[in-house]
Amino acid sequence: MTVNDALPAPDQPAPRSVLLRGGTVYSPADPFATALLVQDGTVAWVGEEGAAESYARDAELVVDLGGALVTPAFVDAHVHATATGLALTGLDLTGCPTLAEALRRIAAFVRDQPEGGVVLGHGWDETLWPEHRAPGLAELDEAAGGAAVYLSRTDVHSALASSALRALAGPELAGEPGYHPDGPLARSAHHLVRRAALTAITPAQREAAQRATLRRAAELGIGALHECAGPDISSEADLSALLTLAQEPGSPQVFGYWGELGGVDTARRLGAVGAGGDLFIDGALGSHTACLHAPYTDGDGRHATGAAYLTEQQIAEHVAACTEAGVQAGFHAIGDAALDALVRGVRTVADKLGVERVRALRHRVEHAELLTPELIAAFAELGLTASVQPAFDAAWGGEDGMYVERLGAERAARMNPFAALQRAGVPMAFGSDAPVTPLDPWGTVRAAAFHRTPEHRISVRGAFTAHTRGGWRAVGRDDAGTLVPGAPASYAVWSAGELVVQAPDQRVANWSTDPRSGVPGLPDLTPGGQLPRCLATVVHGRTAHLAP
């Protein structure tokens, strides 16, 4: 029986033993494996077709892969599930070509919504528009027709808010840092209007959005998500609801992070695996709020060197509290000044409590974009995990991208140095930061392997590892993310075409494609080519997705 005919639907119980055969299994246990045996949600055997027949007699279910590829399921190490679901089901302005078209789409969307609720949207990016500016408040209000409208920028660090939504946020909005009477809101002002908008969402709307995200993740071969929650990004109720929803059979797993300064007890109470994630040291480059040593090269000088939300002392106190409690800490840090403050704070704790205690918890740094060699060496020394998003480079890198516009060519060329991180031995976990960039695991692997700055490229194999095993290691699970006996049976089945070995160095590629090297192949991810299609996603032996 083929994959689609044989595997049970997500709402059906899982067979106790399943043998998949007649394909290619990506496994370090056997680089030439064609078959995989799963028993009670665990990988029991991986091998070649000759030995598969002996297991076929006893397996409860035998699946003919028909030449398909089986890999570990992906882990997206940084998502915002409710916001992603709202983008999937709400107003999506991603890729909108002009300001005028954005206003037209806003007006059309608002007309179709019931009166009285908040209209939510995401994805606008003024750097892509010929007008090169965001809409003013009067333009937004005209399109909104009196509705309360919240539209997050593509980086989710600033937003457009209509007059009706500003009124819901209260009179204190005008006194918050980042407030603008006519344009986008950033910093604390943005956090205030976002809370006002999310508070207006009903539990039913939230559940529908979260289900949309989990469903989309499973459709893309993602078996686990790291939800980066916190008081400035979502709410305790939002995280609790998501973690409860993810307990349903057939759902991708969700690991929660709670990004609140001193929030160790809250993280534990909520069932989060760490007190970190989007605990903001700074903001984002697109919104001019990433914290830099040297000023931004564009704009009118208002933005100077960005925003610093936490001091070195606050960072150290949080890391110390987490380390003493045995809880993983984590921070959002993008700019070089923010990353310097982070490293100094963590090193203070290492000097006090011992570097091995700090290293043992694998404290996380989300994004970690504008890195220097000295910072990379410090990451390796302190055992910090780099939770990074290669799609950022695909979206904003290159000679004419937003990075160059904000930073100039010299600093832009230092962004997202994956190869240097890998050479230094810094653990990397790949994610999307959805809805900032879409859930797109193979696109993420492609973006790392074909980085717009060639010296930052890594092999497809290295990128795939960062998006599978790397995500598990980031939550302290060293037994998952590979298809070897004893590992959890979380895998995806792909229609993938020819399998190859792609590496930045052609000498390595030539050696790796020699069958004698025993290096298993992965799909050809050359830009412009078709990405693999997910036929099925299985999480701990239970089907999460079957393609039509």
Asked, for residue 510, whether it belongs to a domain, the answer is no
- 418-452 tens-digit pLDDT: 999 999 999 999 999 999 999 999 999 999 999 99
What are the C-alpha distances in Å from 126 to residues 108, 295, 450?
20, 20, 26
* Domain at 16, CATH number: 2.30.40.10
- 147-189 tens-digit pLDDT: 999 998 988 888 999 999 999 889 999 999 999 999 999 988 9
- 450-509 tens-digit pLDDT: 999 999 999 999 999 999 999 999 999 999 999 999 999 999 999 998 899 888 865 445
Asked, for residue 513, whether it belongs to a domain, the answer is no
For position 117, what pLDDT does the model report? 77
For position 191, what pLDDT does the model report? 87
Residues 266 and 290 in one domain: no
Name which of 231, 281, 224 is nearest 255 in CA terms: 224
Helix (H, G, I), strand (E, B) or coil at 365: strand
Residues 68 and 82 in one domain: no
DSSP 216-281: HHHHTTEEEEEEEE-TTTS-HHHHHHHHHHTTSTTPPEEEEEE--TT-HHHHHHHT-SEE-SS-BS
Residues 302 and 269 in one domain: no
pTM as predicted: 0.89
The whole-angstrom separation of Cα 424 and Cα 298 is 33
In this structure, what DSSP letter does residue 529 have? S
Residues 105 and 202 in one domain: yes
Number of domains in the chain: 3
Token pair recorded at residue 398? 């290159």
Structural domain ending residue among the three candidates 240, 256, 275: 275
Residues 261 and 117 in one domain: yes
Asked, for residue 328, whether it belongs to a domain, the answer is yes
For position 511, what pLDDT does the model report? 43
Q: State mean pLDDT over 368-392.
A: 98
Residues 489 and 455 in one domain: no
E-only strand ranges, 65-173: 69-72, 74-79, 91-92, 118-124, 148-153, 158-161
The whole-angstrom separation of Cα 139 and Cα 116 is 20
Token pair recorded at residue 406? 């904000």
Asked, for residue 115, whether it belongs to a domain, the answer is yes
Asked, for residue 511, whether it belongs to a domain, the answer is no
* Domain at 384, CATH number: 3.20.20.140
The whole-angstrom separation of Cα 359 and Cα 353 is 11
Residues 304 and 385 in one domain: yes
Q: State mean pLDDT over 224-241.
A: 94
Asked, for residue 15, whether it belongs to a domain, the answer is yes
Name which of 74, 10, 60 is nearest 492 in CA terms: 74
Asked, for residue 520, whether it belongs to a domain, the answer is no
In this structure, what DSSP letter does residue 16 have? S
Token pair recorded at residue 126? 């003024």
In this structure, what DSSP letter does residue 117 have? S
* Domain at 258, CATH number: 3.10.310.70
Helix (H, G, I), strand (E, B) or coil at 538: strand
What are the C-alpha distances in Å from 353 to residues 21, 274, 319, 324, 381?
51, 19, 11, 8, 15
Residues 291 and 412 in one domain: yes
- The burial of 95, by beta-carbon neighbours within 10 Å (0-12 exposed, 13-18 middle, 19 or more buried), is given as exposed
Residues 230 and 372 in one domain: no
Residues 139 and 216 in one domain: yes
The whole-angstrom separation of Cα 188 and Cα 133 is 21
Residues 263 and 307 in one domain: no
Name which of 466, 446, 444, 495 is nearest 387 in CA terms: 466
Asked, for residue 63, whether it belongs to a domain, the answer is yes
Residues 319 and 466 in one domain: yes
Structural domain ending residue among the three candidates 257, 275, 293: 275
- 285-340 tens-digit pLDDT: 998 999 999 999 986 555 689 999 999 999 999 999 999 999 999 999 999 999 99
- 24-68 tens-digit pLDDT: 999 999 999 999 999 999 999 999 998 999 999 889 999 999 999
Structural domain ending residue among the three candidates 223, 244, 275: 275
Domain span at residue 92 reads: 76-275
